[in-house]
Amino acid sequence: MNFKIKHIYFFLLVSLIVSCSSEDSPDKDEDKPSISINYNEGFPQACAQLVKGQTYNFRAQVTDNTSLASYNLNIHHNFDHHTHDDQGAICELEPVKQAINPLIYMENFSIENGVTSYEINISVTIPDTIDTGDYHCAYSVTDATGWQSRTSIDIKIVN
């Protein structure tokens, strides 16, 4: 009987060690990717004024500790003065107004496997026919394990 109890304790101990070591795997990614426009070529910077009819390269640097997967650029109106969580700079806003023909740009892009650093560089022409006023430029990035980060910048579209 004593022999059986020792074997049971031994198997329980081995099972516990195996289950704990698999949960604490060093390959487990628990870090979100990062996004930055705070470098010389980063665009747009907070409170930038973009002219209708002009083409701009929207640029941001994204990084991850293991592997990037995709990113998104979203440009939408802020005529209602809504905010996003991470907006640092406070720009002067025009009065609240109703959108008639706002710019809505939303595109998703993939990043090749295994890349840990990437510069987003998207050429966008601001249509002549859209409403001028307050807009947001929002970037998001997702890594290979599904972690996502976002940042949003206040911009203004002018004639």
pLDDT at 5: 56
Closest C-alpha to 56, from 36, 42, 71, 46: 42
User: What is the residue whose two structure tokens read 């001028």?
Assistant: 132
Whole-model pTM: value is: 0.81
**pLDDT lower than 50: segments of the chain:** 7, 12-14, 16, 18, 21-22
Taking the CA of residue 42 as centre, how many other CA atoms within 13 Å lie in the half-sphere pointing to its CB?
Answer: 16
pLDDT at 90: 81
pLDDT at 119: 98
The residues with which 88 forms a beta bridge, in sequence order, are: none
Domains in the chain, ordered, with CATH?
31-158 (2.60.40.2550)
Condensed to tens digits (0 to 9), the pLDDT of residues 40-73 reads 999 999 999 999 999 999 999 999 999 999 999 9
Please report, rounded to a whole number, the percentage of residues in the chain having pLDDT higher than 90.
Answer: 75
User: Are 155 and 41 in contact, with CB atoms under 8 Å apart?
Assistant: no
